[in-house]
Amino acid sequence: MDNFAKRLLQLREHKGISNQVIADLLNVQIRVVQRYIKGETTPPLEKAVILADYFNVSLDYLVGRSNDPTRH
């Protein structure tokens, strides 16, 4: 599992939401989110920004470039 997939799964579980909630947020089908979480694909930048905003973390944290989730 790549860094993005791992972080997305952790954030989703920490927030206690389903894949469907993320799919609705991103306006994609649930199977797309499942592929993100399995590490089969990554979202385009505009979707990653939406996720970072939703989870209130930096993009660097979301993609594994930083272990500090806070936004700077």
Chunked into runs of 10 residues, the chain (72 residues) has average pLDDT values of 90 96 98 97 95 94 84 58
Q: What's the pLDDT at 71?
A: 64
Q: State the Cα–Cα distance between residues 46 and 70, nearest whole angstrom.
A: 19
Question: Residue 19: what residue type?
Answer: N
How far apart CA 46 and CA 61 sit, in angstroms, is 16
Question: Given this structure, which CATH class describes domain 3-60?
Answer: mainly alpha
- What is the residue extent of each domain of the chain? 3-60
Q: How many whole angstroms separate alpha carbon 55 and alpha carbon 31?
A: 20
